[in-house]
Structure 1
């Protein structure tokens, strides 16, 4: 199969600050796999769960270019062999995601069906997505909520906490958000920004305000404390950075209520499906999240959305220059379309 790789840079309408830093733009990778006149598309976006584990776009491109000659020897039908090859060469999960995405897109186009239909899923079961408010001052947070209200009929709002200034700053920001987002359900994501003591205190306080759940309250590496936190917290605890693939789920199952699965972490739709079923077998709730992904990656995940309990696939809605169009927003829900494969079209210039 032919393999084509190019990069594209996307810029956020509003910079997103989390406990680890701020993002205003990213350069992502667009991979195209072609055989029999059919082209499958996939996306890789760089991400980091901490400063020690950051992989840049340049590193991803270098890594990908090194394996393209071997990748070309496969057919898109050989998904199992391709997955084994990617594991053998220890390919970064974001690149594995892009390749697996493209293979699924190719297959759907080959048989003329959207992925959700190939998998026999029901779009009516897709829950509303949440939209995200990053760490900021109380006034800036209120302005961000108002900006979201102008473009999306959202029902769920995710608030990023873990402010380096401390939990008092977190509390002030959340109260300000709640003043504006009167009817929205609220969830909280601390991105590992709290200590165990802070997390217990915040979870108890957040429960009095009707927050639905708390995501990744503790830093990566402190998973042993999750059980203590869950026993002390009146709110369900979800993990994100602490869970990449299905292999991480069994040791987390007794300590948390749910896991946040992202296509860039799992390494593709194939592994995302495995992780979903294993999580459910362990009686865990499943959430889908995203990094600085365009409509390409978020639409890919939207095809699995009937299997998710919570959805946080909003990154493309905060882009000025998303080069793709795919899943559409309807009454707060991100719905995949009827086009074959992932169902994404190219609609703008890239850089």
Structure 2
């Protein structure tokens, strides 16, 4: 098996702002694994909040190149377990590698990845489309630029209720709110009352990740469901979120890929938590991997490639929130 690493700097259509940062470009690592005429692809983007960069990911993978390339006839689960001890400090790199291996494995088996897992896609959820923080006028403009059935609205400003009030005047779409740790306990509880009246479905990660007492207070008193994101990073975090959140947003780059992501989703279901997978502004390579998990999800945020000025791959396509799979096996991607 041959390991190929590629670095990209993905340009966004608009400056993307959340409560803690703004970006115009998204650095991304693409991992390709080649074997017997087949190629599998995976992706992980950089993220300053999690202190990860593409050069560091590449260095970490280069250190274990021999171990990776010597792999023969292992299941994705066995491969992940073998590699994890060497990359447990860099789950983003592990994610890109795990995605690529799952893609390669399914292609070699002659199946789409979700078929290999025996998932059926009849009840797949629709994806939302994210509106980043900007002036109210600009946020209205971005929403009207792409009519969509579900919008995820980034908040964490002094005008949060005014923003949603103005957006609501323009559409009957479902709203989801992501404050990215930007609110306090009382602020969240109070905002939930106003936002519920404005047709908001749920709130995502309103408090700082480690404020577990605050999470429990909000969980008890919020009139809207609360979904964990920054508080749910790796597999062990799912159980911690029980009785503190109503659901969890699993990010594949944070947990180390599709293999542990599937386990996290199953654990959440056992605990009665709603299941969601979110993206980190990936290209269609990362988004197509997320699409394989759709049959197991209540909600999904997989609009990353739609936010790009130019994509670097083909794979799944999205039309008014509905995901259409590629005809190719594996995750169905092709690098352009």
TM-score (norm 2): 0.96
Give runs of aligned pairs for residues 1-351 of structure 1, distance below 5 A: 1-48=1-48, 50=49, 53-75=50-72, 77-89=74-86, 90-149=88-147, 154-163=148-157, 166=158, 169-180=159-170, 182-347=171-336
Mapped contact 1:16–1:134 kept (Cα < 8 A): yes
CA 1:59–1:271: 2 relative to 1, 3 Å: same
Mapped contact 2:288–2:332 kept (Cα < 8 A): yes
SS in 1 for 2:137: helix
SS in 1 for 2:60: helix
Runs of 4+ in structure 1 over 4 Å off: none
> After superposition, what is the alpha-carbon deviation per residue over 1:87-111, rounded to whole angstroms, capped at 9, x for unaligned?
2122411111111111111111111
Mapped contact 1:337–1:343 kept (Cα < 8 A): yes
> After superposition, what is the alpha-carbon deviation per residue over 1:290-336, rounded to whole angstroms, capped at 9, x for unaligned?
11201001111101101110111001011112110111224421232
Range moving further from structure 2, 109-118 or 273-282: 109-118
Mapped contact 1:47–1:56 kept (Cα < 8 A): yes
What is the Cα deviation at residue 39 of structure 1? 1.5
Mapped contact 1:64–1:95 kept (Cα < 8 A): yes
Range moving further from structure 2, 76-85 or 123-132: 76-85
Range moving further from structure 2, 329-338 or 121-130: 329-338
Mapped contact 1:6–1:31 kept (Cα < 8 A): yes
What is the Cα deviation at residue 147 of structure 1? 1.3
> After superposition, what is the alpha-carbon deviation per residue over 1:22-81, rounded to whole angstroms, capped at 9, x for unaligned?
121122111111222221111121124x3xx32122222222222212222222625344
Query: In the aligned structure 2, how far is the partner of 1:11 from the partner of 1:283?
Result: 39
Query: In the aligned structure 1, how far is the partner of 2:53 from the partner of 2:98?
Result: 20
Query: In the aligned structure 1, how far is the partner of 2:215 from the partner of 2:199?
Result: 21
Query: In the aligned structure 1, how far is the partner of 2:311 from the partner of 2:208?
Result: 31
Mapped contact 1:46–1:55 kept (Cα < 8 A): yes
TM-score (norm 1): 0.92
> Runs of 5+ in structure 2 lacking a partner?
none
Query: In the aligned structure 2, how far is the partner of 1:60 from the partner of 1:100?
Result: 13
> After superposition, what is the alpha-carbon deviation per residue over 1:116-141, rounded to whole angstroms, capped at 9, x for unaligned?
11112222211111001111111111
Query: In the aligned structure 2, how far is the partner of 1:274 from the partner of 1:115?
Result: 16
Query: In the aligned structure 2, how far is the partner of 1:202 from the partner of 1:84?
Result: 43
